């Protein structure tokens, strides 16, 4: 299964593609979509949409996994990130690929086994699980790989799915 993990944003959208099979995961590629500062939000969102279309056409993922938003203290930035996330969701729907959403805690548990792990712990475990020699840069790409790993581990879980009783993830 080819899983495209997405760390949403409007200045930087991290992405990471892994292949997962039989409990093993391999990193295929990672990077970031960036938009220039000082440009109207609407133009940045249009660029994210176009770049996401190109990314999906090029990488041909079987599924997309994206992180749900967590608002901390800066709601203004959070709203702009939510706009970027919306564009990404629409691009995945348009492409016709199944879409899965995970909270930051779900990602942390899947990658480290601890829901309150710090960012460095998640990044280091992502590097170890994927057998990478160095941490992926930018951090947004490393986050996207951890989101993809979260889906890889959830997709093979034998736990019941809350949205479909009797069906496993």
How confident is the model over 88-95, as a mean pLDDT?
A: 97
Domains (ranges, CATH) in the chain? Answer: 2-168 (3.30.420.10)
For residue 133, how many other CB atoms are within 10 A of its CB?
A: 5
Mean pLDDT of the residues in the chain: 90
Report which listed range, 77-86, 135-144, 160-169, is most confident.
135-144
Catalytic site positions: 7, 67, 140
Tell me which of 4 and 159 has the higher pLDDT.
4
Q: Which two tokens stand for residue 108?
A: 């942390």
For residue 55, how many other CB atoms are within 10 A of its CB?
A: 24
| Structure confidence at residue 164 (pLDDT) | 46
| Structure confidence at residue 79 (pLDDT) | 84
Give the span between the Cα atoms of 44 and 139, in whole angstroms: 20
Task: List helix spans (H) across the chain.
Answer: 41-59, 75-95, 104-112, 119-129, 139-155
Tell me the pTM: 0.88
Percent of the chain with pLDDT over 90: 80
């Amino acid at each position: 299964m080819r899983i495209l993990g997405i760390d949403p944003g409007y200045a930087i959208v991290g992405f990471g593609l892994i292949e997962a099979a039989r409990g093993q995961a391999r990193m295929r590629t990672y990077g970031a979509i960036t938009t220039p500062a000082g440009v109207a939000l609407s133009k940045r969102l249009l660029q994210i949409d176009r770049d996401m279309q190109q990314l999906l056409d090029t990488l041909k993922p079987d599924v997309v996994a994206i992180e749900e938003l967590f608002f901390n203290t800066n709601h203004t930035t959070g709203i702009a990130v939510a706009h970027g996330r919306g564009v990404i969701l629409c691009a995945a729907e348009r492409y016709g690929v199944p879409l899965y959403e995970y909270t930051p805690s779900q990602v942390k548990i899947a990658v480290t086994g601890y829901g309150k792990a710090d960012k460095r712990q998640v990044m280091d475990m992502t590097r170890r699980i994927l057998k990478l020699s160095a941490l992926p840069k930018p951090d947004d790409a490393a986050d996207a790989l951890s989101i993809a790993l979260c889906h890889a581990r959830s997709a093979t879980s034998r736990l019941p799915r809350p949205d479909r009783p009797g069906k496993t993830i």
